[in-house]
Amino acid sequence: MSILRTISYLSQHRHFQPSTMSVPKVVAATIRLRVPAGGARPAPPVGPALGQYRLNLMAFCKDFNARTQKFKPDTPMAVTIIAYKDNTFEFTVKSPSVSWYLKKAAGIDLGSTRPGHVTATTLSLRHVYEIAKVKQSDPYLQGMPLESISKSIIGTASSMGIKIVKDLE
């Protein structure tokens, strides 16, 4: 008797009827690209990567350029695009890599060829803190404390041959 009551209850309430439930989209691919901020065009690398999944190139370019207009032009942005079988997509934009920020802050093109032995340059903790504040806005780092992000940045700097000091003289 209780099963019949449950069935009649479910049939009376619309939110349990199959016609109103959403069907999850089937993911066709996950595409990872590095695109310059404000510089997405339907040419390589964006065009071939999205074209093979029949995604709307112009829609992606307009959305990406609108989201990255606050960054300086030609800043390399990491973008992850999730392509669905119904030719729609979603994408997330991450801020530039830590190594790019460290190289810009230090004013160098390359790190040390022998990190740990040869120091390429030095940076202060203030630089590390500023980079950590920017990186904290990334979707995958939003829950991390600033101290943990700073420690990770210091590790990246040391692997590039950049020495971190308390204050620059």
4-18, 41-55, 81-95: range with lowest mean pLDDT: 4-18
pLDDT one-digit tens code per residue, 114-152: 988 999 999 999 999 999 999 998 878 888 999 999 999
Bridge partners of residue 27, in order along the sequence: 84
Cis peptide bond upstream of 42, omega within 30: no
pLDDT one-digit tens code per residue, 57-110: 999 999 999 999 988 988 999 999 999 999 999 999 988 999 999 999 999 998
The structure's pTM equals 0.75
| Domains along the sequence of the chain with CATH | 27-94 (3.30.1550.10), 98-165 (1.10.10.250)
Bridge partners of residue 122, in order along the sequence: 163
Q: Which single residue is written with the structure tokens 């700097």? A: 157
Q: Which single residue is written with the structure tokens 């980079």? A: 131
In order of 1, 22, 132, the CA distances from 11 in angstroms are 16, 18, 53
